[in-house]
Structure 1
């Protein structure tokens, strides 16, 4: 009787050799199963052994559109296997609301972000922290010193910076990008540290912008993703990995910059010379909570880092909208002229009286979001949605661009139309947390954008960001005509960057609408300098009487901010 060759071969092997052979076969099978999509996960494109869908991951150019196209093929919730790690993409407002908002407590963590969080941030950047007692403390602190009431108190800082921004553009309109960057950075620095940024040439401004761009790009780079997809790579000595060395260099420079600024603000707080700002409150927090200066420096620096770039980036999107939709610009200017007139500049008090300008703000956030894809959320516990399993620790990513470009929610989505929001009177925070805000039927409509995040990861600087954007847009429309030689040459869907997105360079010409307005801009800036700033240093020496330093109590209620 013939004996199968395989059994004969095994019979002739020694016991140890047989065990090694079987172990090798077992490990090979296990290896080939890496990258395979479990059947109970949301569907997705076909996978390859070991790679999963890594070979299908979009490149850096218009990644948000590539993910959107995959969603059109595989559904509003689909899975990409990146090695053995599931990446679950969401492209539906309903699913985003159901998971990230309504189940926000479970989706409040972050997946493993080895390069972004552990290497480039040493676990100290709040935006990248996983859910933990430390993150909960940060969330509580930020609510106390960044809530709507406190943000409104800092309106004078925003007003003064908007006046310098107008004068800077009036004097050198070709450098409008730098002037917008200084404007947003100076607001952030004044609110957080108590000092102004006088010029784009300030090396501290350039450092914070450069670091933010680098960490955002590094965090989504292919090498960084590989470290998360194949954790065994994390055992390689960091000195041998270029991506790890780059992360360590970013962390070193970040700590130096943040710590220098924090210690300066803390010293002024303790000696009583600081202007009203977050550092004054945070010094009290540190005394109560007992955390280190490095931790405090990242807590403060994270606010400045994000605020310095995203507001300026969003303003570039607004300018792109104005030059490609001149009819919208004209209508907005007509509204401002009717309400404000020619003899004064717009203020934050004009917010309720300028519904079309508010519509321009909300439509800008939808039409060209400065965050096209949210940083991944991660479930704390396994979840099930419509029969699909969403494993704890997996990456759940919301494609903001896809939601904003949904033709069912926004017909003709690439048309910039502020009238989409003509009946919307709620703030961005009220919209995000589902507050009906006095609507007739008492029911809040779906969110029109997720730019500021979702659930308990909702950006706590949302109040300040909205007010800064409104003021900057209203002032620029009041003072300037904004144009471009050939609007057809601008690709309005070409947004560049990693986690933060900015329109590709385009030609923009900014000129005063008339000489009278130019004189009003100059006069108002001079008045504010004379009233509030030191004539030599140009720093605040006097603030309005109602601008008080925020105190902190750990017993204060968190309220409902950032919660579903």
Structure 2
């Protein structure tokens, strides 16, 4: 009997110990779970968090750049949000942006987890969403060897030709001005990259790029996509069970089909001596030197077309809005054009130094209408301390570009469009972005920051200048009632555009109309096939490739 009692006591002790262990484990799990969403000690200040969700319940869906700007006034120019389990650090100071993303660019050169956008929708090959790794560095190095500031000037004839078609398209169907601007922007980049022209808005190749870019930008900011990043455990769920994963994988198939097809077509033309000067010609040389796959090459080329097509056209829509709402600026710009150019010819890129007010229009448009209102998140590779505050490795660090550009301490009366803000600044956008000088702050971060600076910004700036100069030379841009235009209403996802507004584009006079038609006719007769409207002959001296095997970016 004593033995049985002893065994029973041991069994009871074991049961009690097991029960206690289970209780402790469950309690520990609950405590750990309740800590999810809590702001870790040392992070920049921010709004109060809730268990599990952090600040997810506060995240704005309408004009987020304005809401974030208001929070910055309350919590400071460097504040944090907890997006589920992940810290989101917001920057709303020129100095902090320069200190962190530019001066400490080596540490802030990566991206946070972007599972849907990068891994599923881009097979890890879309540079803008890629973490800082060997492949990213290879892409950056190759792009610099082909698209550096000196090299892109070789593509000036492409910009001039597409600009002349845009002007005549505006004469023929002015109500479709947005489509004509999009075609211009896409045609310049497609010629530079692949060597073919986008001759009309209805071109299937243009439509595919527009749709893919729109879908990428939209999908990347959907609530399901954000949740997959906020709670990585969701990434363990079978992909076929989640519609957002199925959409992302379908988008990936469309991307690779479009990008790979175009790349292989361009590569074949280069190898058979049928190509016109283009980026692909340099990319073929780079592939021989470095041995990367056709799949990667297709994304290198495709990313440039995506970015180049959207940035230029979106900024030009903002410029049209500025002209509609600031007719005094339009009149002054036209006075400069009339004095310098006259009425017998169109402006060209060679007029850059002679048109400072138009250059100011370019810079002011980028400040006044930032189409990247919230910069794609950077992510520190290792923990960083700034002014006593912790910025953890892997966190998302976002510049509120709109807030910086509308900061009244940096830009008096910031909602006024005034190109004279830049009358003494003769630097290019790239020079401004990479300068160490703080007396003249960067007026925009639309083209990115640090090592994530857009490598095609030289082309974009020149295309913007040419379009603005020629449209103001040839047309009046008006709206029936400027008061009905909300200049702060930007629509979209990762990239934004002004909300639709009433805009009329009308020729200034009959003589200018004749000049625009004459110059486009001469361009066609001199360079284009009369049937296909593709290049039959390129200008003399235009190199097939701008690839330079010895060119390296400063970061290297």
Residue in 2 that maps onto 1:513: 508
Deviation at 1:284, TM superposition (A): 1.1
Residue in 1 that maps onto 2:432: 431
Deviation at 1:82, TM superposition (A): 0.9
Residue in 2 that maps onto 1:49: 51
SS in 1 for 2:206: helix
The reply to whether residue 176 of structure 1 matches residue 171 of structure 2 is no
Superposition RMSD in Å = 1.4
Alpha-carbon distance in 2 for matches of 1:182, 1:198: 8
Deviation at 1:161, TM superposition (A): 0.3
Conserved 8 A contact 2:158-2:191: yes
Alpha-carbon distance in 2 for matches of 1:400, 1:215: 21
Deviation at 1:84, TM superposition (A): 1.3
Report Cα offsets for 1:408-446 as digits up to 9, x if no partner. Answer: 00011101111111111000000000177xxxxxx7621
Residue in 2 that maps onto 1:75: 76
Provide TM-score, normalisation by structure 1: 0.95
The reply to whether residue 343 of structure 1 matches residue 344 of structure 2 is yes
Report Cα offsets for 1:230-271 as digits up to 9, x if no partner. Answer: 000000111111111111111111111111111110000000
SS in 1 for 2:122: coil
Residue in 2 that maps onto 1:23: 25
Alpha-carbon distance in 2 for matches of 1:422, 1:106: 35
The reply to whether residue 541 of structure 1 matches residue 543 of structure 2 is no
Instruction: Classify 1:313/1:242 alpha carbon distance in 2 versus 1 (closer, same or farther; 3 Å).
Output: same
Deviation at 1:14, TM superposition (A): 2.0
Residue in 1 that maps onto 2:6: none
Q: Where does the alignment leave 5 or more consecutive residues of structure 1 unmatched?
A: 1-9, 437-442
Alpha-carbon distance in 1 for matches of 2:551, 2:348: 31
The reply to whether residue 470 of structure 1 matches residue 465 of structure 2 is yes
Report Cα offsets for 1:340-375 as digits up to 9, x if no partner. Answer: 000000000111111111111111000011110111
Alpha-carbon distance in 2 for matches of 1:190, 1:405: 35
Alpha-carbon distance in 2 for matches of 1:558, 1:85: 35
The reply to whether residue 448 of structure 1 matches residue 448 of structure 2 is no
Residue in 2 that maps onto 1:85: 86
Conserved 8 A contact 1:284-1:551: no
Alpha-carbon distance in 1 for matches of 2:93, 2:251: 35
Residue in 2 that maps onto 1:215: 216
Residue in 1 that maps onto 2:194: 193
Residue in 2 that maps onto 1:485: 480
Deviation at 1:551, TM superposition (A): 5.0
How many residue pairs match? The answer is 545
Residue in 2 that maps onto 1:529: 524
Alpha-carbon distance in 2 for matches of 1:67, 1:237: 35
Report Cα offsets for 1:55-111 as digits up to 9, x if no partner. Answer: 11111x211111111111111000101111100000100000000000001100001
Conserved 8 A contact 1:165-1:179: yes
The reply to whether residue 313 of structure 1 matches residue 308 of structure 2 is no
Residue in 2 that maps onto 1:558: 552
The reply to whether residue 460 of structure 1 matches residue 455 of structure 2 is yes
Q: Where does the alignment leave 5 or more consecutive residues of structure 2 unmatched?
A: 1-11
Deviation at 1:290, TM superposition (A): 1.3
SS in 1 for 2:455: coil
Alpha-carbon distance in 2 for matches of 1:110, 1:394: 9
Q: What is the correspondence of 1:115-134 to structure 2 with a 5 Å cutoff?
A: 115-134=116-135
Instruction: Classify 1:177/1:24 alpha carbon distance in 2 versus 1 (closer, same or farther; 3 Å).
Output: same
SS in 2 for 1:120: helix
Deviation at 1:288, TM superposition (A): 1.6
Provide TM-score, normalisation by structure 2: 0.96
Instruction: Classify 1:371/1:241 alpha carbon distance in 2 versus 1 (closer, same or farther; 3 Å).
Output: same
Q: What is the correspondence of 1:221-260 to structure 2 with a 5 Å cutoff?
A: 221-260=222-261
Deviation at 1:276, TM superposition (A): 0.3
Residue in 1 that maps onto 2:421: 420
Instruction: Classify 1:114/1:122 alpha carbon distance in 2 versus 1 (closer, same or farther; 3 Å).
Output: same
Alpha-carbon distance in 2 for matches of 1:411, 1:426: 21
Residue in 1 that maps onto 2:354: 353
Alpha-carbon distance in 2 for matches of 1:280, 1:115: 32
Residue in 1 that maps onto 2:396: 395
Alpha-carbon distance in 1 for matches of 2:440, 2:368: 19
Report Cα offsets for 1:430-483 as digits up to 9, x if no partner. Answer: 0000177xxxxxx76211111100000000001000000000000000000010
Conserved 8 A contact 1:434-1:444: no
Conserved 8 A contact 1:52-1:84: yes
Alpha-carbon distance in 2 for matches of 1:435, 1:105: 15
Conserved 8 A contact 2:279-2:546: no
Conserved 8 A contact 1:182-1:197: yes
Alpha-carbon distance in 2 for matches of 1:435, 1:380: 22
Residue in 1 that maps onto 2:67: 66
Deviation at 1:515, TM superposition (A): 0.3
Residue in 2 that maps onto 1:161: 162
Residue in 1 that maps onto 2:5: none
Conserved 8 A contact 2:38-2:49: yes
Deviation at 1:536, TM superposition (A): 1.2
Alpha-carbon distance in 1 for matches of 2:150, 2:536: 23
Choose which of 36, 39, 43 in structure 2 pairs with 1:37. 39
Residue in 2 that maps onto 1:152: 153
